Amino acid sequence: MSTAALQPLGSFSRAGHGSTVVLVHGYLGGAAMWRNQIERFSDMFDVIAPDLAGFGEAHAEASPDRIEAHAEFVLDLLSRLGIERFDLVGHSMGGMIVQEMARMAPERISRLVLYGTGPRGVMPDRFEPIETSRQRMRRDGVAATARRIAATWFRDGANAPAYPLCAELGARVSVETAIAGLDAMEAWDGRAGLAEITMPTLVLWGDGDRSYAWPQPEALWRGIAGSRLAVVPGCAHNVHQEKPSLFNALIADFLGVVGRSV
């Protein structure tokens, strides 16, 4: 299989050709976390992974403190690129963002993947309350807090092969951006809008996810009419980095890729 080169262009990465697939990262992340998926799907799709404002290569930019503003940011980026219709994948906080995108511009989204996420910003079963994360961010600093949080994204914690990248991306984020992200999640509740999501939707979740326990993806699966569910065993929050081949196969199946190796 040919592999297209990763092409960072400003605050997003893009590679490939064909219909467009957009990958939206989560809190303390960046486009670089999708490197495997960009490489694997770039001979099938035009793959675009934005860096949300304040994160990744866009860490110097001011970050909004509302999920809706992040959604508008991604939609505007795609419009400026001349992309009117696309498949959409959102992970973690990015899953909240793409739910808002689906409500704001349903006519633009062909298929939707809600991965390691839920319909609530304030989760009673999160590994720690948002206020605790906020206090520790201010007390311990972003780098230390990002390392601690990133370790919860993997079964093997800080020993996971992808952990150093996640810790490094998190350390780039300013305190202001980190707090704004927590504020954005705390202020957001998408439960009332689930019935408005009508495009084909896949809910994907690792069964050891400590960021979004089962009631969160279950609420998406039951609340979005006709949605499909994929539960990956033996994974935590970052399935796409822990078991990328299985993750890619599930995404390819949902996007209708037949007879091509991923």
Backbone angles phi, psi at 50, to 5 degrees: -75, 150
pLDDT for residue 199: 98
> What percent of the chain shows pLDDT beyond 90?
87
Residue 138 confidence (pLDDT) above 70: yes
Residue 219 confidence (pLDDT) above 90: yes
| pLDDT level of residue 122 (50, 70, 90 thresholds) | confident
Model pLDDT for residues 143-189, shown as the tens digit of each residue: 999 999 999 999 999 999 999 999 999 999 999 999 999 999 999 99
Q: What is the CATH number of domain 7-254?
A: 3.40.50.1820
Model pLDDT for residues 191-213, shown as the tens digit of each residue: 999 999 999 999 999 999 999 99
Q: Are 181 and 27 in contact (CB under 8 A)?
A: yes
pTM of the model: 0.93
Buried b vs exposed e over 141-151: b needs ≥16 C-beta within 10 Å?
ebeebbbbbbb
pLDDT for residue 258: 54
